Structure 1
Amino acid sequence: MRAWQAPSVPDVPGAAPRPVVHDTATGKPVDPTHGDERAALYVCGITPYDATHLGHAATYLAFDTLGRAWRDAGLDVEYAQNVTDVDDPLLERATRDGVDWRELAASQIDLFRRDMESLRILPPDDFVAVTDEVDRVAEAVAFLQETGSAYEVPTPDAEGDDLYFDVNHPTDAWSLGDESGLDRETMLTLAAERGGDPERPGKRDPLDPLLWRAARDGEPSWDSEIGPGRPGWHIECSVIAGDRLGLPISVQGGGSDLVFPHHEMSAGHAAALAHQPLAHAFVHTGMIAYQGTKISKSLGNLVTVRGLLDGGADPRAIRLALLSHKYSDDWEWFDAELTSATTRLATWDAWASGAPAGHADDAADVASRIRARVSDDLDTPGAVAAVDTAIAGGTACTPELADLIDALLGIRLG
């Protein structure tokens, strides 16, 4: 599946330090490349049943920043992202609105592409629809059955039985809780809230996740070697990441609401399939609230990228507003965020467009500070502050400094 058009990224003299990021699994800062010259990034993509909201935008912007920082450090970056273009929320929305689920998915994927282009997010090398990977997922689930990691749960209303992953089956590179660090009671609560079915009878463990949903009347399904049906949620990412990038990848990324069960179970599936860890680091973005509650499609309290753009917002100002918050923090969006970012952007534009002032050596120092901040766990608020300080102090905006701001922060000035 095609991604979106890539923005141009200037080549900037010099090189940044290798980025260090916070690994959720260990709670420590790490270089997830382990010193390799290749960095492999997998970020969980959208379920395309509604517009791109600011929570999505902040997540993809955070990992866009990581990719830019890796490239600025001289690394080769490989990036894959999925689209869960068949899943219960999508099917439920299509039924509610009286539209074909495939048409709904296609329209929302196209909107997502346009939003990402507007925000100058670097596209993945592999933008993968789950519906294009059903055969590969079925092969993987069949392998898990053969090796004892998957089992059938009787499903009278389906054409065959659903298949589940046994979280207690021994694996070489994973055991339950390795990635999330959560206690069992918390896992059970989150599983029930985030797409799991801990109360389903017939499972060996309430936390066992669905691998393959057998075909039901009125639901999309595909023929496969394990019978008609469709993939479960977690296995799709394990298969796509492994196939496109090889395991272990450098970073598995996504919002903090994916820590459990999605990333935990994806790691378990990957270990059972490949006897390798899924990733060297699990990196998560914080949640954004609006009007006192986390922005959520299900709650309907959305601030959408498209809505802001249609209201006349400069996409650079949206990007700058998001960069002004630490990627891993939870925070709340207020309408004043965009006003403040628009004012700051105008100041930056005027600085970049005016006659040079100050010394070029000062500009080089500013560039070094920006690079240092971004490489230190993607401290974009610190990088933004470095630009503000440079302007306040009368530092010249040289072409090289403007290019670095474009290359690392994705904001083209002037």
Structure 2
Amino acid sequence: MVKSLRRSELYKKIWENGISKTASELNTTTYKLKDAAKSGNIPLPDNSYWSNLHVGNSVSKLKLPNSKNDYIIDIIEKHKSTTKIEKSILIDITKNEDSLTKNKTIQEYFPNIDFKNPRMINKAMNNTTVPKTMPQKKERFINDFMDERKKEKNSYFGVRESTEYINSKNYIGTLYFHKRDNIEISTNALIVTNTLLKVLNNAGAVVTLDDKNLRILFEDAKLILGCHVPSRQILVGPEDKRWNEWNNKVYIPANETIYFSLKLDKFWGELKPIRHEIDESDSDYIRRVLIKIISFIPQSREQIEKDRLQAIEAAKEEKLKEIQRDKHEQAYKELNSLLNKTRAHQIAVQLNLYLEDSNIENVEKLKYFFELSDWIDGKTNNNILTDSDRQKLIDDFFNVQKSYNNPFY
């Protein structure tokens, strides 16, 4: 959500109430408020201003620059906590399977989110059921993963038949599970993951592969989802067949078969795990993962909008740089041309002076030399010599002069 107010109004609030109180009044954070003030070229009071004001000393406000330019400033509100919302949804869902259709819709649970397809989300939430066996019609990524695993088992030593196939452009990989090398992915883990993918598709999300994770495009939000097969570490002694002289630590499967993690797309940071709770069914867990994904929508939309505005600003800056480069290039060309003409004229003047003082008796030849002088000055054309000849002659002339004037050449 965004609050809009005039630049002068925001300046007045900040200098009368301070950053913290103004941020609280506008339902935003101090960081976002400072960012908005900076974008509006609004000066901020420092700590000495408030301390002097508190003890009764005279203080002076920094004036608002360009006060006549009183445009509207948008301030992004802070995100509302979704913890209580998630718990209330889960309580309703676990107590009454039809709660989302009879009592509340997903829009009512998340009033700060403007959903495009709330009915699809409601239906997907209500129809969330993790089956005991893998369905015949599996989701695409699960189907590809299981086919790939069969190929590995059937190939020599459990390795794919050709490394060239892996490195080829046609191979895009399959669904990746974060796990220890010795931990097997159970069928139940695949069933739960398949259910989550089905629920996301039914809710209107577009799911694609992204290296070792899944990319989710959902309600104009872009998120990254990770699939994890958890394990725990144990110590073994020499009497255990898993013990060896290099390592006495082994990993065994954990109580939960699978868990998922989430973060904003193109956001630096670790994926935040969404772990199973005690005595939580797989179906309730999938619902809770979907709720967590929904709770990320405002933050993702805000980041996407911020990236869009930054891209616009970057494009403007690049356009200005391009215009500046064009102006620079044009000015350089014009000045370079002027300098060349000046040098050519200087040569022509010296050449004319020489010809006037010369003892050339052949009138036709003298006339021809004067014509060449006019040509090098750019006054006439020549059927034999070219523009590149003129430039070379000018460069050679001044290079010879430079060499002649340099005693160390």
On whether the aligned pair clears a TM of 0.5, the verdict is: no
Q: TM (normalized to structure 1)?
A: 0.23
> Which one has more relative contact order, counting CA pairs under 8 Å at least 6 apart?
1
Higher helix residue share: 2
